[in-house]
Chain A
Amino acid sequence: GDSVTQMEGPVTLSEEAFLTINCTYTATGYPSLFWYVQYPGEGLQLLLKATKADDKGSNKGFEATYRKETTSFHLEKGSVQVSDSAVYFCALKDSGGYQKVTFGTGTKLQVIP
């Protein structure tokens, strides 16, 4: 079945540091890929997405590129802020009938001033 593997956290960075959170996936067909963010005490929010190979999703300074050859969708940001502290989930949505979403285990990011 489908699976998503992301780097374990927590990740602790200083403000303005460069962020990379690795994500690789296993899926049949042509899945869509997502990054969701969960701030403390809140639900999930869609951060960015890519629906086909070589697409780049971007939002709020974050970006990720759908790499079919390496089955990866790594999240990057050039300069993190304290307000980016949250848990980040990589996810894929299969192309089947119900378009089921499979999540990675989440990576907690803590940005310190």
Chain B
Amino acid sequence: GAVVSQHPSWVICKSGTSVKIECRSLDFQATTMFWYRQFPKQSLMLMATSNEGSKATYEQGVEKDKFLINHASLTLSTLTVTSAHPEDSSFYICSARRVIVGVNTEAFFGQGTRLTVV
């Protein structure tokens, strides 16, 4: 299957700093990327949907000014956690899909990023 690479796989940062997570589709062009957050012992919660070249669509309750999403090219989307706090510590995972209207395309997931804010 297609490969989605997420970097870094883990990061520790100090409270108040910002952290950028990259999501790359290595062998296909991803018109749409999804960012999820997974709390311990809970399911994946969709944070936002990003389309190449346009603003991301955030799910209800997700602070767009805190979680900045950029999808500047068909192979790269970034999630920046700004002014991180300990409660932002979580497992963040991206998913990429080449969306074709009327075609049931598969989503491929990155390996995830474990963020710990101290």
Contacts and interface: CB of A to CB of B under 8 A. Distances in A.
Given A99-B99, A99-B104, A99-B105, A43 B43 contact: no
Interface string B97-118: 1010100111111111000000
A89 B43 contact: yes
**What band does the interface of chain A fall in when counting residues whose beta carbon is under 8 Å from B?**
20 to 34
A71 B72 CA distance: 39
B55 to A, nearest CB: 14
B5 to A, nearest CB: 10
A103 B44 contact: yes
Nearest to A10: B41
Contacts of A106: 42-43
Contact of A101 (B1, B34, B110, B111): B34
Contact of A43 (B42, B93, B101, B105): B93
A105 B43 CA distance: 4
A99 B109 contact: no
Contact of B109 (A44, A49, A51): A44
Interface of A: 32, 36, 42-46, 49, 51, 89, 93, 95, 97-106
Given A44-B93, A101-B95, 17 more contacts: A32-B104, A36-B109, A42-B112, A43-B6, A43-B109, A43-B110, A43-B111, A44-B44, A45-B109, A46-B108, A95-B104, A98-B49, A99-B105, A100-B34, A105-B42, A105-B43, A106-B42
Interface of B: 1, 6, 32, 34, 42-44, 46, 49, 93, 95, 97, 99, 101, 104-112
